[in-house]
Amino acid sequence: MISPDFLSDCIAIAARRSIGSPISPITTLPHSPLGFNAHSGAHTDFYGLPSNPVSIYHTGDLWPRPIDPEARRVPKEARPICEHPIAPVWRELGRQVYEYLDSVAVKWTSIDPVRFAQVGKKAGPLFLWVGVMPGTLSRDDAEVAAVGCKDILAQSQITDVEIAFRESVFTRSTGPQLLDYVPFVYPDADVRGPFTPALGLQIAAKATPHFEGTAGLYICEGGKSNRVFVLTTRHVVLPPSAYCNDLYSQKKKALPHREVILLGSKAYQGVLESIMGNIGRQATLVDYYKDELEGLGVAVEGEGATQAKKREKFKVLLKDAEKSIESLDKFHGMNTKFWGAESQRILGHVAYAPPISVGTGDKRYTEDWALIELHREKIDWKGFKGNVLRLGTV
């Protein structure tokens, strides 16, 4: 069920966008459609870790958290397990733990032994940190599963390890694949466009996500190589204010990878705003259709065919608008969970970029280009359409 507050924000965005008013970037936290993660530590227990995961439940002592809405959250960091009796038996114990979680239908994604500490302070006890698919595990079920995990550890005389569950999607470092193209009859067809491999990919360097631009052309290396590149401008992925204007080539092994992400800071917030604006427009239509149906009243014997036809028309339109809201809200939730972190939006890395120069060649052009080598697992090559443009709805 969509949150009334969230829906109100969407309607406000739709109204502002319809009259062209400026609006501040929207920052939204992932929300669970099942309402599982409402406990007070959901967004504070693991605050400070790179992915800022949502906490579901953990055993042991309560962790420090803000005492009022204005207080600052306490940042955490992960620490190694160091010397501990679990290390030499972890392979077997880990197998027992994941087999147990499978048996109780926990949709786990990762299991890691780790210690946590407040930044700059001494580490606490060892935890089995269990990642689960978002929205699939309630706090109560996590508490039951934690007891089962502790029983497995106790059978090996390990009693000083706590259990923690968090929402987590395990992906390669490049994050999820770009989305498939869908026909424009789908409610989310327009807003999913920035996440497809159609030309005009909105990109930025991961190190400088506020410098944004577009990728303009796919190039296959050919021969026996399966490498695919995308062409862009050097000043976007290697901004002159941050890098020397020297030849950059990944053939020089000493050079670090300069990762490139889909959607820089502003572009990603713009996508979220666009999704919410579409939800708001559909919500406004829902109210309009309901008002029209209320004005038409209930069907009565002997009424005119025109009125009956109008009633059926508005019923269909109302049902379509409500389905669109449901679909767009689902897409918004997927977006914030699976694409929200920059590490989930990595497309590839800069492979080659000559220095920016002016008056180059016989025609005295400016030379400003770079090749990005794509991570192949980022794209579903079976459905890839190549160098095509997305022209939008017609």
What DSSP letter does each residue of 153-216 carry, written as one string? HHTTT--SEEEEEEE-----TT-SPPPPP--TTSTTTTTTGGGS-SBSEEEEETT-TTSEEEE-
Q: Which residue bears the tokens 């666009």?
A: 274
The arithmetic mean of pLDDT across residues 239-267, rounded, is: 84
The arithmetic mean of pLDDT across residues 20-38, rounded, is: 39
Q: What is the Cα–Cα distance from 348 to 359, expressed in whole angstroms? A: 30
User: Which two three-digit tokens encode residue 202?
Assistant: 């909105």
Nearest to 51 by CA among 348, 258, 338: 338
Q: Which of 53-57, 107-111, 135-139, 232-236 has the highest mean pLDDT?
A: 232-236
Q: Model pTM?
A: 0.59
Q: What is the Cα–Cα distance from 298 to 235, expressed in whole angstroms? A: 63
The arithmetic mean of pLDDT across residues 152-167, rounded, is: 94
Is the Cβ–Cβ distance between 221 and 290 less than 8 Å? no
User: Which two three-digit tokens encode residue 382?
Assistant: 């079976």
Domain definitions of the chain by residue range: 32-167, 193-263+342-378
Name every residue whose Cβ is closer than 8 Å to that of residue 385 and which is 6 or more positions away in sequence.
181, 197, 198
Name every residue whose Cβ is closer than 8 Å to that of residue 153 and which is 6 or more positions away in sequence.
86, 93, 128, 159, 161
Task: Kindly report the average pLDDT of the chain as a whole number.
Answer: 84
The string over 114-140, giving b where at least 16 C-beta atoms fall within 10 Å of a residue's C-beta and e elsewhere, is ebbeeeeeebbebbbbbbbebbbbbee
Name every residue whose Cβ is closer than 8 Å to that of residue 264 and which is 6 or more positions away in sequence.
202, 203, 204, 209, 210, 211, 212
Is the Cβ–Cβ distance between 239 and 210 less than 8 Å? no
What SS3 class is residue 46?
A: coil
Mark residue 175 as left, alpha or beta (left: phi above 0; alpha: psi -120 to 50; beta: remaining).
left
Q: What is the Cα–Cα distance from 229 to 235, expressed in whole angstroms? A: 17
* CA 122 to chain centroid: 32
Helix (H) or strand (E) holding 359: strand 357-360
Report pLDDT for 337: 84
Which one-letter amino acid corresponds to residue 331?
Answer: F
User: Which two three-digit tokens encode residue 265?
Assistant: 């800071």
Report pLDDT for 340: 87
Report pLDDT for 30: 39
- Please identify, in words, the CATH class of the domain defined by 193-263+342-378: mainly beta
Q: What is the Cα–Cα distance from 256 to 236, expressed in whole angstroms? A: 17
- Calculate the CA dihedral of residues 235, 236, 240, 243 and round it to 10 degrees: -120
Is the Cβ–Cβ distance between 218 and 373 less than 8 Å? no
What SS3 class is residue 327?
A: helix
Per-residue pLDDT at 252 exceeds 80: no
pLDDT tens-digit map of 178-205:
888 777 667 777 788 889 898 889 999 9
Report pLDDT for 381: 86
* CA 125 to chain centroid: 31
Helix (H) or strand (E) holding 381: none
Percent of the chain with pLDDT over 70: 86
Report pLDDT for 133: 86
